[in-house]
Amino acid sequence: MGATWQNIAEARRRTDHTLQKLGVLTDLASEDAAIIVYGSIGRAEVTEDSDVDWTLLIDGPSDPQHSQLVSTVSDRLVDVGLNRPGRTDTFGVVADSHDLVLNIAGPQDTNENLTRRILLLFESVAITSPLVRKRVIGNIVDRYVTYDVVAPRPEPPRRIIPHFLLNDVVRYWRTMASDYAAKMWERQNEGWGLRNIKLRFSRKLIFIAGLLTCFSFELDPPPDAGAIRQDQANQSMRLATFVRSRLDQPPLELLSNILLRMKLDEVARKLMGSYDSFLGILLDSEKRKELKELKITDALQSNVWQEARRASHDFRDAVEALFLAERTLLRELTLRYGVF
């Protein structure tokens, strides 16, 4: 693109450094339990004062020692100078694969369960026992795709889309937006500025990655796509295999691949440039502190807030151009499956 995005590069360097620190946990490996990190580490976007959002993912029988293991992980993170997760019950706890796989939608699918599941798919890294993460992700994708009930068709489908997964990706994006409003109400707007700008950028990026993954069979089809379209009996199983292959890259990588494939250079420059500006604000300790402590009544007088807001508008416009502005296949997929 003829551009250099220094803040994205710096965030990746910091991510690598943080992952090296997390090496203090590698001796805690287990065949049925994995330490999974999410958030900025999972997106390769570590910045100033990034938290370590993690869970102990269990994919096996319960064990009283799991509780002790959670305490051990927490203590070691503090020992190497890493920040604990935020003050919710979503992270820093045991996560059971049975809940993630079996309780999709329905009354047992809490906000915490939905969050852990979607983030496991789109922004997670296994610090220990990567096979546990791979196994759980495989089962989640099977639940979404292989075991989805598809109405019989007299002819092969025109488009192959994992509808159940797509619906949950959209649900999660709206849940994040609603959860933001609820937290601001509960906390009397404490931390408003930082949470707001993250919703505009990094939270929206998860949604973008989810949409692109769901549309990826059409946007970047496998070599045997024609055969898969004709093989209705095994189509769901083969689609699940394809989707799993798209879940081992950070969201910005997934997005970059689509931008390059679609040859949307100007959109790419604006989109990546604005995201680079967002990370630049978070990498600046003074700017991050101002956003975190900013009162909503003082927002219009804050130069940092105005800078972040302008960058978010550029990001929004670039995302809209990517998905909707041109008469592309992505626009068709977005309108037909992402909206209605």
- Distance between CA atoms of residues 153 and 168, nearest Å: 24
Q: Above 80 in pLDDT, residue 86?
A: no
pLDDT digits (tens, 9 = 90+) for 235-274: 999 999 999 999 989 999 999 999 999 999 999 999 999 9
Q: Are the beta carbons of 184 and 288 closer than 8 angstroms?
A: no
Sort residue 54 into left (φ over 0), alpha (ψ -120 to 50) or beta.
beta
Q: Is the pLDDT of residue 49 over 90?
A: no
**How high is the pLDDT of residue 12?**
97
Write the pLDDT tens digit of every residue in 110-124: 999 999 999 999 999
Res 75: pLDDT: 93
- Which pLDDT band, with edges at 50, 70 and 90, does 310 fall under? very high
Angle at 320 between CA 204 and CA 173, to 5 degrees: 25
The residue behind tokens 């390059």 is 260
For 31-45, what is each residue's pLDDT tens digit?
Answer: 999 999 999 999 999
CA 20/CA 142 separation, integer angstroms? 32
The reported pLDDT for the residue numbered 87 is 67
Its sign, for the CA torsion 119, 120, 122, 125, is positive
3-state secondary structure at position 107: coil
> In whole numbers, what is the pLDDT of the chain averaged over residues?
94
pTM value? 0.94
Question: What is the three-class DSSP state of 243?
Answer: helix
Q: Residue 100: its pLDDT value, please?
A: 98
Angstrom CA distances, 339 to 112, 208, 211, stand at 25, 14, 11
Please tell me the distance from the alpha carbon of residue 278 to that of residue 263, in angstroms, as a whole number: 24
Contact (Cβ atoms closer than 8 angstroms) between residue 294 and residue 189: no
User: Which helix (DSSP H) or strand (DSSP E) does residue 277 occupy?
Assistant: helix 265-283
Residues contacting residue 168 through CB under 8 Å, at least 6 positions apart: 104, 105, 114, 117, 118, 144
pLDDT confidence of residue 48: 81
What are the tens digits of pLDDT across the range 62-81?
888 899 999 999 999 999 99
Higher-confidence residue of 2 and 331: namely: 331
**Whole-angstrom Cα distance, residue 322 to residue 324?**
6
Q: pLDDT for 136-170, tens place per residue? A: 999 999 999 999 988 888 888 889 999 999 999 99
Evaluate whether 165 touches 262 at the Cβ level (below 8 Å).
Answer: no
3-state SS string over 15-34?
Answer: HHHHHHHHHHHHHHCCCCEE
Question: Which of residues 87 and 8 earns the better pLDDT score?
Answer: 8
140's enclosing H/E stretch is: helix 130-141
Q: What is the pLDDT of residues 181-239, one digit of tens each?
A: 998 898 888 889 999 999 999 999 999 999 999 999 999 999 999 999 999 889 999 99
Q: Which residue has the higher pLDDT, 40 or 85?
A: 40
pLDDT at 152: 80
Distance between CA atoms of 24 and 279, rounded to whole angstroms? 27
Q: Tell me the mean pLDDT in the region 285-294.
A: 95
Report the alpha-carbon distance of residue 196 to residue 44 in Å, rounded. Answer: 20
Structure confidence at residue 84 (pLDDT): 80
